[in-house]
Structure 1
Amino acid sequence: MSQRTDQTHAPAGARSRWSRVRVLAVAVLVVHFAALYWPRIDIQGPVTWTDKVVHVLLFGVPALLVLRAWPRAWPAVALLAVHAPLSELAQHAWLPHRSGDVWDAVADLGGVVVGVTLAVVWRRR
């Protein structure tokens, strides 16, 4: 018999919780891609590094939610990490009102690290 523990053997309440987390993860990924590839986005905030906080959140929240919804989704998180610098290159090359920034890519990768760290800590609790 398979030792895999998935939602098919979980109580009904756990299945619905997993379903909500998965729906939220997919919704956050849609927002993630829209924010990265929208033709023009201006981020203003109370401090000069507000933009970097947004980049950390744009990659950290999806990484956390994907690992909460699908615990074995490490390949998807690896794709997020690869996507971080590639999205900056795409913005620079193909979106006329956007520019790629090395520090945005660093913040994106930092977000992936934060999201993975939180998911691991959450799982161990």
Structure 2
Amino acid sequence: MKILRTGTNDFTCLPGDPKGVGSPPMCEDKVAMQWNRDFAEHKAKPTTNVPGVEYMLAGATQRSDSNPFDKTDPPIRIGPHWMILWPFDPKTTGLPTTHKPTGAYIMWAGTPWAHVHIMGAP
């Protein structure tokens, strides 16, 4: 993992890979870094026990709002957003599970990798 800049506020910024799907430039706290390491290692679920926070002000690409490990669907471009990495449940939160250009939705609902996207630049 290439670190763009280590922050002084527990956030670390990474340059990402503009040509890669699912590897955008981002800044993340220590918990989010562990969550992303677990995801990259294809663990059954995150090993974190508190929510992590990350943001992607340049937006990102992903393949699916429902399948965390989808490698075949065409890329979906999403705009700037924040993510709260915690297994949120749409039934208890009332949040939708489909991509929205603004507001919040739960990505990968029903999986251990579920988390909230808060769309829009802060």
Task: Give the shorter-chain TM-score range.
Answer: under 0.3
More strand by share: 2
Structure of higher CA gyration radius: 1
**Quick check: which one's helix share is greater?**
1
Higher relative contact order (CA closer than 8 Å, sequence separation 6+): 1
